[in-house]
Amino acid sequence: MVYKYIYQLAIDFLFPPRCVITDQAITKHANNRFLSATAQGFLPLLHIYCPRCSLPLSTPSKSACGECQKHPPQYKRVISPLIYAEPIRSMIQDTKFNNILHNAAFFADLLLKNIQQHYQHQALPQLILPVPLHNKRLQQRGYNQAREISRLLSQQLSISHNDQSLIRIKATDEQSGLNAKQRQHNLKNAFAVAQSLLPIKHVAIVDDVMTTGATVNSVAQTLLDEGVEQVDVWVVARTAK
Ligand SMILES: [Zn+2]
């Protein structure tokens, strides 16, 4: 035990952990294993949001936003620690293959703190599923960031994780540039369940970014059709609209 501690101290001294945003060496004062003290002030934290879809709002509200009231989503709620803004936007977009594990660990760590807060008095989901990429996209990109975050959360929360159950059967066109209605149409029947989830009743789906919510809504619909009773959404960042 003592040797392990000394070994870790030596490793940290020789190769101090570096900030995921500024690339500065992280000192003990930062009190965070991913962020320098300076970078902690740069995080676009999501403080005021719709209690259902986590849409960033300008004033606190106990009731759901207009869009959620007009078209209630299939999921129960969204947990998102961040607003999709710089420097997180670049980090999510530019994640290079070599950094994927380190960045995923940082994102999982942020999400974990929010999840623990939100579920203090409520049961955690029984299963975590990453939002899958279509095989074609996965081959182009080489990895699915959502899968890495989901895997880490599963370890930290001791909840099962399954990256085989949910599949993307439709290679949807690029979503950016489409409005909410077009996105919804684009994603209709885009997902399917490859393995029965029974008797699981409560599932969390994990993704990196949530924009209009069309993707997670389509996944939630697929899961509800399979007999799941509650779908929660866990994302790293939420766009402002
Ligand atoms: Zn809402």
Summarize pLDDT for 9-28 with one digit per residue, the tens. 676 666 778 888 888 888 77
Contact partners, residue 221, CB within 8 Å, separation at least 6:
74
Ligand 1 centroid to Cα of residue 235, in Å, is 15
Ligand 1 centroid to Cα of residue 51, in Å, is 7
**Cα-based torsion angle of the residue sequence 49, 37, 149, 45 in order, rounded to the nearest 10 degrees:** 10
Residue of 111, 134, 125 lying closest to 208 (CA atoms): 111
Alpha-carbon distance of 115 to 25, in angstroms, equals 28
Q: Where are the alpha helices (DSSP H) in the chain?
A: 2-14, 37-40, 66-70, 88-93, 100-118, 135-141, 145-157, 180-186, 214-225
Alpha-carbon distance of 61 to 26, in angstroms, equals 37
Ligand 1 centroid to Cα of residue 48, in Å, is 12
Residue of 234, 216, 241, 208 lying closest to 89 (CA atoms): 208
Ligand 1 centroid to Cα of residue 70, in Å, is 9
Ligand 1 centroid to Cα of residue 121, in Å, is 22
Summarize pLDDT for 24-44 with one digit per residue, the tens. 888 777 678 888 888 888 899
What are the φ/ψ torsions at residue 235 (nearest 5 degrees)? -130, 160
Ligand 1 centroid to Cα of residue 65, in Å, is 4
Question: Which residue did the predictor score with more confidence, 27 or 127?
Answer: 127
Q: Which CATH class is domain 44-238?
A: alpha beta
The whole model's pTM is what? 0.88
Domain coordinates in residue numbering, the chain: 1-42, 44-238
